[in-house]
Structure 1
Amino acid sequence: MGFSLNHETREVFVRLKALFFPEVPYGVARKCLALSAVVAFYTVAYMYLNEATFHGEKFYTVALPFEKDIPFVQELVPSYIFVYFLVITMFLALDSDALLSEAVKTFLVCMGIHLAFFYFMPVMMTERPHLVPNGNLWHDYAAFWYWVDKPTALFPSGHVSMSFLSAYYTRRIHPRLGNFCLVCAAYVGVSVVLIKQHYIADVVAGYLLATVSYLVFKRLDAKKEVGRPVRFETEEIAEGRKAA
């Protein structure tokens, strides 16, 4: 039972906790370290591929014929960062070693699939409006994100898959909060289409990838655990494991 880490990895966690979070409870420190590692990995890899594929020569299209008629709604641009709040909410909600382990593995595999698609099947958004800052808050905010995030590395939508994965895991612990997060995830899916960041196919693929990944790892980890996973072990227990 517990977080499936080998002795050496546990020792790394304990030392990093002592270095960066000396006064923070052990479980919280581990969640912070796991969150930082997952977000850093995906952000760096995504930004690299986003820039690299933008200068490529071959792109695929997944656009539906009617998508060019979908309006651009700049007021929905703030939803672009909702995914970060959903991910943070999930990590705060996780209450056991086993769930933290399962969530991290699910996210990393899901991210790996995303990055493979971004590299081998680059899709470019061709329906973006050309935005020049004009003093309007939402317009300028949209222009900023268009400048940061190039119109490539779209399929499947990382915003959608990470939002739904976060909502699924939050719902495992807090059903009511999780249901609210699912509504927020659906809102992200609609919004990224209306702000011309993703095609509908990107959103559907992101949702399916998140759902399948979640169900697969939930089933795999269920075979390893009996009953409810144990809660986060204390720092003293972790130190005892080290000594053993």
Structure 2
Amino acid sequence: MTDDPSMAAPDPAPVRWSLVAQALTRPYPVTPSMILLVSLVPFYIFIAEMMPGRALHSPEVALDRALPLQPAWALVYGSLYLFLILLPVFVVRQQEQIRRTVLAYLMIWITAYVCFFIYPTQGPRPAEVVGQGFAAWGLRFLYSADPPYNCFPSLHVAHSFVSALACSRVHRGVGIAGAVCASLVGLSTLFTKQHYVLDVLAGILLAGFAYAVFLRDCPREDNPDVYRVAPVLALGLLGALGLAVICSWVVYQGSVG
């Protein structure tokens, strides 16, 4: 056994943080399919603007009526959905995984848009949010930002689960955590009265189908550095969004103080 310090194992902490820095600064490829995906986003609003005057459906079941409106879930909805939008950008780095993930997103967005046209719906949200406080303020903001249409299937839920499933191809633990967050997003859409139970179930099924078509056979991440750094990036992103919620609370306190 040698005492030569050059033969000693490297300190894992500096290595890990160097990997984090490398992951955060490495250029991310921009492909035509990504541009197409981003270009589809505004049509969510355009479709919603076409809904007034049409015969709208409400796929309500008994469980929908049993679930109360809970404004605090708006904070879960906003923060975790944004988390799951950004998570694959930080975690999924392999070119083929990126390509297939974007194709899965395209599939759920286009399918959802077709459903919005064929089966126009209106969500179960109340006409007015009663009450004061940060949670009620957050729910009012959510309602103002998201039109009450385009419910079936839940595109927010489908997108969240595709993100979680894509990340599971890189790191199983991150994928499981993402699936938990996606499930909370699904619950939040019910407690904020953004969606019906059937919307959420349809969104989950749509995500599962997209995973089966594009991601199930995709090779898992074989770069040990990417695997090691994935949980750190996920926790950092979650912490940053938690800080954003705190900042929102500070802004709210300033507006009412």
Query: Does TM, scored on the shorter chain, surpass 0.5?
Result: yes
Written as runs of structure 1 = structure 2, the 5 A alignment for 1:1-244 is 25=26, 28-30=27-29, 37=35, 40-53=38-51, 55-81=52-78, 82-125=80-123, 127-131=124-128, 135-218=132-215, 222=218
Distance 2:134 2:34 in 1: 30
**CA contact 1:38–1:107 (8 Å) conserved in 2:** no
For CA contacts below 8 A with separation 6 or more, give which structure has more relative contact order.
Answer: 1
Distance 1:49 1:112 in 2: 12
Paired amino acid for 1:49: I
Task: Quickly say closer, same or farther: Cα 1:174–1:64, change in 2 above 3 A.
Answer: same
CA distances 1:143-190 after superposition (whole Å, capped 9, x unpaired): 122122121100000111011000001111011111111100111111
Instruction: Measure how far apart 1:139 and its partner are.
Output: 0.7
**CA contact 1:80–1:192 (8 Å) conserved in 2:** yes
**CA contact 1:35–1:91 (8 Å) conserved in 2:** no
CA distances 1:96-151 after superposition (whole Å, capped 9, x unpaired): 111111011111111100111111211112x3223358652111221122122121
Paired amino acid for 1:78: L
- How much identity, in percent, do the aligned residues show? 27
**CA contact 1:170–1:177 (8 Å) conserved in 2:** yes
Paired amino acid for 2:203: G
Point out where structure 2 has 5 or more consecutive residues left out of the alignment.
1-24, 224-257
Task: Quickly say closer, same or farther: Cα 1:41–1:79, change in 2 above 3 A.
Answer: farther
Distance 2:36 2:158 in 1: 14
Distance 1:124 1:84 in 2: 23
Instruction: Measure how far apart 1:37 and its partner are.
Output: 3.5
Number of equivalenced pairs: 198
Q: State the structure with more CA Rg.
A: 2
Point out where structure 1 has 5 or more consecutive residues left out of the alignment.
1-23, 232-244
Task: Quickly say closer, same or farther: Cα 1:57–1:194, change in 2 above 3 A.
Answer: same
What TM-score comes out, normalization by structure 1 length? 0.73
Instruction: Measure how far apart 1:39 and its partner are.
Output: 6.1
Instruction: Measure how far apart 1:41 and its partner are.
Output: 2.7
What TM-score comes out, normalization by structure 2 length? 0.70
Instruction: Measure how far apart 1:93 and its partner are.
Output: 0.9
Distance 2:193 2:130 in 1: 17
